[in-house]
Every structure is written in structure tokens, then in C-alpha cells.
Amino acid sequence: MKLSRLALAIAVMPGLSLAAETYVAEPLVVTSGRLAEPQAQATAATTVFKRDDIERLQVSSVTELLERVPGLSVVRTGGAGSQTGVFLRGTSTAQTLVLVDGQRIAAASSGTSSLEFLAPEQIERIEVVRGARSALYGSDAIGGVIQIFTRQGDGQGLKPYARLAAGSDSTYQRSLGLSGGDKRTRFHLGAALDETAGIDATRDGFGANGDDDAYRNRSLSLNLSHRFNDSLEVGVTALDQRGQVEYDDTFTGSLPTTDFLLSSISGFIEARVTEVWSSRLELGHSEDKRDSGNDQAGGTVSQFNTYRDAANWLNTLTLNENHQLLLGLDWYEDRAQGTTDFVEDSRWNRATFVQHRYIGETFSTELGVRHDDNQQFGNENTWNASLTLPLNNANDLILSYSEGFRAPTFNDLYYPDFCFGGMCFPSANPDLAPERSKSYELQWRSRYSDTGSLQASVYRTDIEDAIVLDENFIPQNVQTARINGFEAAVQQELFGWQGNLALALIDPRDRASGHTLQRRAKRTLSLDVDRRFGDVSVGAGWRAISGRYDDADNEIEMSGYGLLSLRAAWQANEELGLSLKLDNLLDKDYAEATYSTPNGRFGYNSAGRTALFAVTWTPQL
């Protein structure tokens, strides 16, 4: 770990801008420390997927990509567009913070982020930070942070593209875009339309549940930045995804749909004020809208809409070659609207944080603290600290401590009382406190050869005041949990084949009952191998998930499963590329979650063997 890496990153790329990646040889990440730094310098365990990875793996969803992250498992309730949960290091879906170009996208009502609606065609890069980062990001960052960056131009002239794909279950994907720019200005404009007839999410056939559940998603993205000089850059990014997904009503047998909109827009001004001080100001707005029900049959439609405004001011002070200081101010306001009249429909959160870094030849340190002031629950302080010990030029040990918290959602705090027969019963608890966590971790990072690297971690997370429903279905701060885990990520090239292995062993338990936390897989494995033969590339992927429990009492056990996929691509010429992917090659029948009906309890269906063929045209201008 060399001092020159940090100095170069700070000198060339102040703040958070990714635009300067073309000026340095080593890839930079921004999510771990809220500043640009070489990935090897980031103290938090970080997984990065670039645009090349998205195209090589031929993924059709963001969650398909995230399943390759050590310690991250996904639970779906059907096919494309179905409700999806992400469990990072044994924490719940709402305990992982999701950002799009720096903007929070979680629904204020439920606290979950609609990753199932994000189109890979609009994404340039994904960074997944594993472990609590509330000392930098505040609420929700107990399990980690997932940050998604929209596509951007590379500053090397106009580059148009168009892609058409067709596959199983009447799946059609169309996208086109144009990127361009020069050394000072970069832009990207993209549009995509994804459609599929889908699969039948349920197995019981109750009522009208025997039909396939279709999904349609229209998306637009814009990324524009301009560097006026070496000291000043401005930019704007926007992402808009909207469409409709069908789902099964497991009680009435109707044919309901969800019309969704997920959007974010942000702008930034970044300046090197002095040789020591770099500053970045960000302003953003995000929306999550859902209309669910069956209005065509005269049924009711429920609306849950979240509107969020945000502002962030980040300041990086390079005090000298060894010491660096990050100072920041965060503010955001959530507003919830729809058919549910929440007791309170808005709240703000403001925060200040500071983080110090020392980079030395024999050891490095990081120490940060953040203070949040929330309109509903008051004040919250969180800390993080790490010590990096370089064993030699190829091996580092990192010991770290981090704290996290999650604010209660609008559903938890403000959901209106349930009234029936002239009597009303509470559905929310305005006295809830935030969930809190403490994590301890030891990492080993090794570049053991020119073609191989290893990242391994052992960690423990203790969670207090976790919110669960009591016997009257009222949320309470009653659960304590402890999560022990081991994870490893290995990259190795052998005989021309590039292999990527991610392994995780997790023991997530409710400390009061001793039960395994609901829907958490204890063992996950992901393996990808790829090789290029001239203009042809081939690859295979294997994903194995252990059994899990679908209830808090551990009475409903889900079987483990393994899935095999194959892929191939041929670059016919400079402008035309063809690709083919086969998923679930062995046609494995498996379920990731269960549901109840008047006829009993069943597992949700998952897609069987599928194929997708794509043609990509990149005309040379």
C-alpha cells in the first residue's frame, strides 16, 4: 500500500467524480470512503462491477449481478419484476443502503429499494461495500452500501450503439444510446425497453393465479459533465424507469398489476479551491411511485409514493502527504403520499461527519464520526475506525470497527389505525427507536501472483433494537441478533481462463430464540470462468445457495439449490456483435420464498431453463 496512490488520486480527482479515471492507471472507487481512491486503498471490503463485466456476464437484472458478491443473497417472489429482497452479510433488505448516482432510492413507506426495476443497460458501474458505513452515510447502512452509477461517455468521440435481444417466455429487449465528448465534456444518452410474458409466480392455481405474470420496463438515462478547467467541473445525471408488472393475488384470485416509476436526478459542482482543499456540492431528487391493484375489475388501487430531496457538501483537505481530512454535511427530506393517510407524511434528516486518514509506510489508520439529527427520532452518533498493516508489498491486514443504524420507516411510525366495527386498533408505533449495530472485522488482502488475488474477511455484527411485529402486529424494538461470518473472493487466471470465485459462510441468529434469521442463506457460492479465443468468448457460471428458513420460528424450511449457466459471444466485425446465454441449464425446479393461500402454503415459482440471444451494433463514426 503506497502513499503515492492516495496522493495521485487526490491530486487528479478531488471529491467523488469518476470522470478522472482516464487520467490514472489504477481503478478508483468512491463508495467506501466517499472520496476517490484506488480500490486497494479502500478500508471497507468492496466489490466492483464495471460495464465490461455487465456485458461479459450478459446479465438481465441488477440482482443477477449482485448474487456474485460474497455474502449477498437474493430472494425473489416470481419472475422478472417481482418483489425482490437483498440480504447482505445476514442483514435484512431494509438494512442495506442503495444509492443511484449518490441519491437514496428506498421507499419511505417500506424502507426497501426497488432493485428489480433497474435496467442493466443503463448502468456503467456498481460498487458494493460490505459492512456498516453509517459513520459516512447515516441511516440504513448496517449491512453495507450498494451504489449504482449510470452510463457515461468516455470522452473519445461519438459512439452510438443499438442492441436487440429475444429469448424465452416471449422476452424482448431493445436499447439504443449515444455517448461522446472530449477531454473536457462527456455525455451519454440512453433508452431501453424490456418486455417479457414472464412466468406464473404461484404454484397453487387458486382463482386466476394460473396465468403468466408479464413485465414491461421503459428506461431513460442521461449523464453530462463539463470540466471548465483543471479546478472546476459541473455535471448532471438522470435516470427514469417506469412500467408495469403483473402479480398474483393469492387470496381473491384477481389479476392485479403494479404500475411503477423509479427516478432520480442529481447535479454537482466540484472545485479544487486551493492546493489543499477540494470541495463538492451535490443536489438531488428521487421518486418511487407504485399504484397496485385491479382497477379494471372495479377493485381498489393502493398508491405509495415517495418524494425525496437531498443536498450534500463534501470537503477534502489534504493536510500533508500523510494526513487527510474529509468533512461533510448531508440533508434530505422524505415525503410520503398516496391512498394511505399517514399520521405524519414528511420528515427531514440533517447530518455532519468528519473522517481522518493517516497513510504511512508501516501502518495506516482511518477514524470517522457522524452526527444525525432526525425530525422524528432525534439524534444519533455513529463511529468507524480501521487499522491497516502492510505485511509486505503483496499482503495487507485490516482490522476495523464500524457502527450502523436504521431509522424506522413511515409504515413503522405513522401507519394509520385499523378500524373495524366502530373500534380502532393501532398499526404503528411512534415511539420506536432506530435499529443499531456494531461490527468487528478482520480482512486479509493478497496479491499473491501476477494473475491472482484474494480477499478474505471474518466478521461479527451485533444488532440491537431490531424492529419486529408483536402478537398484535404492532412494530416493537424487541429483537437482538448476532451475525458471524466468513467470506472470500478469489480472482485467478489459469491456462488462459479467468476465474472469479465468491464464497460466504454466515450464521445469522436471533439471540433471544436462537433461531436463524428469516430468509438468510447460511452458505453461498458463486463461480464464473471465462476465456477469449480471438473474436469469440465463452464462459460459464455456477451459483449455489444453501437452504434457508422462510419464517422467524424456523418451521418453514426452503431447500438449497444450484444453478448452471453458459454464455458465448462473437465479435463478427468492428460494428457487429452476437451473444447467447443459457440460464438454469439443468432446468432446476426451486423456490426462494413461500406464500399462503386458502389452499395451503406454497413456494413461489422461479424461471426454468431460459435462453437469450442478442445482437449489438456499434457503428463507427
pLDDT in tens, 61-111: 999 999 999 999 999 999 999 999 999 999 999 999 999 999 999 999 999
Q: What is the mean pLDDT of residues 305-321?
A: 96
Task: Write a three-state SS string for 325-357.
Answer: EEEEEEEEEEEEEECCCCCCCEEEEEEEEEEEE
> Exposed/middle/buried for 423, CB within 10 Å: 0-12, 13-18, 19+?
exposed
Q: What are phi and psi of 411, to 5 degrees?
A: -60, -40
Q: Of 295, 296, 374, 292, whose CA–CA distance to 340 is shortest?
A: 292
Across 203-217, 279-293, 307-321, least confident range: 203-217
Answer whether residue 21 shows pLDDT above 90.
no
- Measured CA to CA, the distance from residue 515 to residue 473 in angstroms comes to 20
The pLDDT of residue 299 = 65
Answer whether residue 22 shows pLDDT above 80.
no
Higher pLDDT, 294 or 328: 328
418 pLDDT tier (thresholds 50, 70, 90)? confident
Q: What is the mean pLDDT of residues 449-472?
A: 94
In order, the DSSP letters of 445-481 are EEEEETTEEEEEEEEEEEEEEEEEE-TTS-EEEEEEE
Q: 345 is written with which cell numbers?
A: 407524511
The pLDDT of residue 154 = 86
The pLDDT of residue 248 = 85
CATH number at 340 reads 2.40.170.20
- Measured CA to CA, the distance from residue 587 to residue 521 in angstroms comes to 21
Answer whether residue 13 shows pLDDT above 50.
no
Cβ-contact 520, 90 below 8 angstroms: yes
Range of the domain at 434: 3-617
482 pLDDT tier (thresholds 50, 70, 90)? very high
- Measured CA to CA, the distance from residue 567 to residue 581 in angstroms comes to 4
The DSSP bridge pattern shows strands 475-494 and 452-469 to be: antiparallel
The DSSP bridge pattern shows strands 346-359 and 323-338 to be: antiparallel
Beta-bridged to residue 146, according to DSSP, are 98, 128
Answer whether residue 7 shows pLDDT above 60.
no
297 pLDDT tier (thresholds 50, 70, 90)? low
pLDDT in tens, 151-177: 999 888 899 999 999 999 999 999 999
Answer whether residue 424 shows pLDDT above 90.
no
Cβ-contact 43, 400 below 8 angstroms: yes
Three-state secondary-structure class, residue 7: helix
Which percentage of the chain shows pLDDT scores above 90?
84
pLDDT in tens, 207-263: 667 789 999 999 999 999 999 999 999 999 999 999 999 998 777 667 889 999 999
The DSSP bridge pattern shows strands 610-617 and 576-583 to be: antiparallel
* Total-model pTM: 0.94
Element (H, E) at 11: helix 3-12
Across 104-113, 371-380, 501-510, 594-603, least confident range: 594-603
**Measured CA angle at 386 (ends 370, 521), to 5 deg:** 90
Cβ-contact 96, 124 below 8 angstroms: no
Q: What is the mean pLDDT of residues 491-496?
A: 94
Q: Name the average pLDDT for the chain.
A: 92
Question: How many domains is the chain built from?
Answer: 1
Answer whether residue 342 shows pLDDT above 60.
yes
